Amino acid sequence: MEILVISVFILGYILITLEHTIKLDKLIPALGMMGILWAIIALNHMEVFDINLELLKLEPTHIEEVLLHHLGKTAEILIFLLGAMTIVEIIDYFDGFSGIKQVIKTRSKVNILWIFGFLAFLLSAIIDNLTATIVLITLLQKLVKDRSLKLWYAGLIIIAANAGGAWSPIGDITTTMLWIGNKVSEINLVKYLIIPSLVCMIVPFLIASRLNVFKGELDTVKIKDDHNPYGNKMLFLGLGSILFVPFFKVITHLPPYVGMMLSLAFVSTIAEIIFNRQVNLNKVNSGTDLTSLHSPVHLSLSKIELPSILFFLGILMAVGALESLGILFNFAGDLTEIFPNTDILMILFGFLSAIIDNVPLVAASMGMFPNLLDDPLWHALAFSAGTGGSMLIIGSAAGVVAMGMEKIDFFWYLKKVTIFAFIGFLSGYGTFMLLRDFVL
């Protein structure tokens, strides 16, 4: 029966990776796979286990208990993401991200490349790499007219955004999963990965800076200066509230989603106050009743990417089914025998994350390895899964969204940008090994 379970998972996995080819949203096979796997377990009364991390062995349990356990862990991640996404949408409601354009004062193509790179690196660590990519690609579209140059900027933004998300517990869905799953702590994640991630970004940018396409000055497009007067305030307030979450966890030892909900409540309160003030002023000035307008909180919630949330639910619960049967735990033992060197295994995972979705890859890894909190394996996995996806444009959420926004061709990216991402990944992982073994 285990063969049937594994076959269903592999089939669902293949359908997820072929999303753009078969024109089937990946949430559909993810949810279907979840339901079928747990149904097989229940109907066949298969024995389920829980991993005892202290004894490093599997202990039998009941299906209701293990299902509730995995649902609880999955819900923690989903509620955290919902809070973060809503805060970002509230910032966007007040046109907060338009203030970023004030950073760009130069017309030099190389200088603009580096500005975009560091903005992507820093923003992705705060608001996640997907959102940072959307913000910067939107700004890029307003700033650059030349199509070829725009593609190059977009390709390198993907590398920088993924590198920036790898060292922050809130910068990438995979690092968030590891953080909430008590595999890595905030301080050690930053300590071990910020320098390798920076190397992963800087090395490709240094090489790219010498390309002919980045020589000379940019024919800039004038960007309109009219923006919401509360934009900058909401930008700093929103980003500060998201940054508050890791500190809240350290101080209270409560799960991160509790801090994110507190931050969302605070940002929502300020947003409602500003909105009501604007409505009242417009009402006085124009004599029009504007109270029927949607509040920023309601509108932001309506713009949340629910398909992504449902995909995460399906894939995490499906992986939980394999974990509960002990399949992943046993597979980890086989892998460590084939690849006794953990670094080789983690580099392989980096290449795999460029081909397949890194969310199920990391979710499976969390169930495969019994290593304790802040084991170097988890830091290596966070880096590899976060940055390895840059090697193909479909290998990360940042790449997929840039592909859609700029209509980047898969093979153009493969020919032009993949080599830069490959060099950055190996440079960063080599730096991680040096720091781990000889410095930290």
Sole residue written with tokens 């930053």: 190
Convert the pLDDT of each residue in 198-255 to its tens digit. 999 999 999 999 999 999 888 755 555 556 788 888 988 998 998 898 889 889 988 8
Q: Is the Cβ–Cβ distance between 156 and 425 less than 8 Å?
A: no
What CA–CA distances, in Å, run from 361 to 67, 106, 328? 20, 41, 11
Question: Which residues on adjacent β-strands are paired with residue 52?
Answer: 57
- Residue 258's pLDDT is 93
> Which pairs from 241-247 meet CB under 8 Å and 24+ separation?
241/87, 241/266, 241/267, 242/84, 242/87, 242/126, 242/127, 242/170, 243/126, 245/170, 246/169, 246/170, 246/186
- Residue 327's pLDDT is 83
Tokens matching residue 78: 């989903």
Asked if residue 367 has pLDDT above 70, the reply is yes
Convert the pLDDT of each residue in 124-149 to its tens digit. 998 888 888 888 887 888 788 888 99
- Residue 340's pLDDT is 81
CA distance 40 to 43: 5
- The C-alpha angle with vertex 104 and arms to 99 and 109, in degrees rounded to 5, equals 145
Asked if residue 170 has pLDDT above 80, the reply is yes
| Maximum pairwise Cα distance, the chain | 76
Convert the pLDDT of each residue in 391-427 to its tens digit. 988 788 788 778 877 888 888 999 999 999 999 999 9
What CA–CA distances, in Å, run from 3 to 34, 227, 237, 294, 350? 16, 58, 51, 51, 27
The secondary structure of 387-416 as a DSSP string is HHGGGSTTSSHHHHHHHHHHT--HHHHHHH
More confident residue, 46 or 77: 46
Task: Provide the mean pLDDT of the chain.
Answer: 85
Three-state SS at 51: strand
- Residue 155's pLDDT is 95
- Residue 52's pLDDT is 59
